[in-house]
Amino acid sequence: MGRHRAVPRRVGRASLLAVVILALVAVGLPARQALAAPSDVQTIYQFTTDQPVMALTFDCGSDTGYAAQILDTAKAKGVRLSFGMTGTWAQANPDLVRRMVAEGHHLINHSWNHPDFTTITPAQRADQLRRTADLVRSLTGYELRPYFRPPFGAYNDSVLADLAANGYTYSIMWTVDTLGWQGKSIGEITQRTLDAAAPGAIVLMHVGAASLDGPALGGIIDQLRARGYRFATVDDFVAGRIGPTFRYFPETGHWVGHGFLSYWERFGGLPVFGYPLTEELREHGVTVQYFERARFEWHPGVWPERYDVLLGLLGRQVTAGREGEAPFRPIQAGNDANCTFYPQTGHRLCFGFRDYWRARGGLAIFGYPISEEFVENGVTVQYFERQRFEYHPEASPAWRVMGGLLGRQVLATQPR
């Protein structure tokens, strides 16, 4: 019987709600705004997670300051940041805003010109949000909603309701303010960040020249990484993209993540590829990462079964110009019990080198042989499209055949 009685009550509430909406629209108040409530907005000081991940955020509200240096550091360290973006800063620095978006950083609406939102009207709040979002969208195509950072950290229920009415459902505060804007030294900024380090912590910094947050960034990243932390944007946290998809290698001080990490772990790991020597970087329009014995290259859609990772042709790269030398000249041969002949390159693969080639991944990992076996610098070697095999009879059986450190060799020749 209770179930039957509930039906007219639901209808009555819906009818009443419709009447209220129509009345509000009739007097010019948008229904969306009328229905918005402070509880529609999540105000976040620190994310709840057990993952050792932190969000490094910078507010852009005054001068250009260290913004370019901050982006350079983030790129070199392989870290994506979140930027609280004011419209006036974006208007004055359009190229830097475009660079932020192009390099994968996250932008948060931080108002047009940084007023205290608790002291302005709902119409003024809406204008502040709209103008900033429209400008950033026109510059980059990037949508700032649903993220907002209140200027001065000031908000109340009225502000939150207006945020919700304008499509901003996350108000991003901070766990620790470095106080760089108060003139703190690099050491003080770094120590405040380290003292507050915790899973899900949000660090507030500023790009302006009055703050040394920018110059402190590199050291902060290095010291947090030494404690096992990695970094994500605010959007990564909200979207749940902070799982253990990265691994830090203290031996060389670099991270490997996502498809590169999956490829490294599945297709050879340390014996075949060695430790990472760089973070991910862009070379000739391709995302790459150098390892001691390889260069990983990301080619979207080319080979999904291998995480769209291809290995760079380092063997060919380091032997360019040696094609006329005797070991590199193609020969005519056939197959026998000890050797396989590859007509694609005109070279044989024999004995222990063949066993290693087959056991460690074959064509996909090493490519075809591009030389015969020969002695180079006192070591028996053979070059392949992607590697150089070396025979070390003095080593333990598992390490008598080793891949050459071609990644290290090629990286040393790259301009930095």
- Give me the pLDDT at residue 360, please: 92
Pairing of strands 170-172, 147-148: parallel
Length of the chain: 416
Instruction: Give the range among 89-93, 211-215, 281-285, 368-372 with minimum mean pLDDT.
Output: 281-285
The verdict on whether omega for the bond into residue 146 sits within 30 degrees of 0, i.e. cis, is yes
pLDDT score of 388 more than 50: yes
CB 384 within 8 A of CB 315: yes
Structure tokens at 16: 């009443």
C-alpha–C-alpha distance, residues 377 and 375, integer Å: 7
Q: What is the pTM of this model?
A: 0.57
273 CB-near residues (< 8 Å, 6+ apart): 264, 291, 292, 293, 294, 296, 407
CB 67 within 8 A of CB 91: no
Q: pLDDT tens-digit profile of 115-127? A: 999 999 999 999 9
C-alpha–C-alpha distance, residues 150 and 111, integer Å: 8
Confidence bin at 414 (pLDDT 50/70/90): confident
Please give the domain boundaries of the chain with CATH numbers for all domains: 38-239 (3.20.20.370), 258-312 (no CATH), 321-406 (no CATH)
Residue type, 243: G
Q: Nearest to residue 160, comparing CAs of 145, 175, 148, 152? A: 148
Q: Higher model confidence: residue 317 or residue 259?
A: 317
Q: pLDDT tens-digit profile of 325-358? A: 999 999 999 999 999 999 999 999 999 999 999 9
Q: Nearest to residue 233, comparing CAs of 56, 46, 36, 412? A: 56
Q: How far apart, in Å, are the Cα atoms of 176 and each of 8, 47, 233, 272?
A: 52, 13, 16, 42
C-alpha–C-alpha distance, residues 2 and 394, integer Å: 86
User: Average per-residue pLDDT in the chain?
Assistant: 90
Q: pLDDT tens-digit profile of 282-328? A: 999 999 999 999 999 999 889 988 989 999 999 999 999 999 999 99
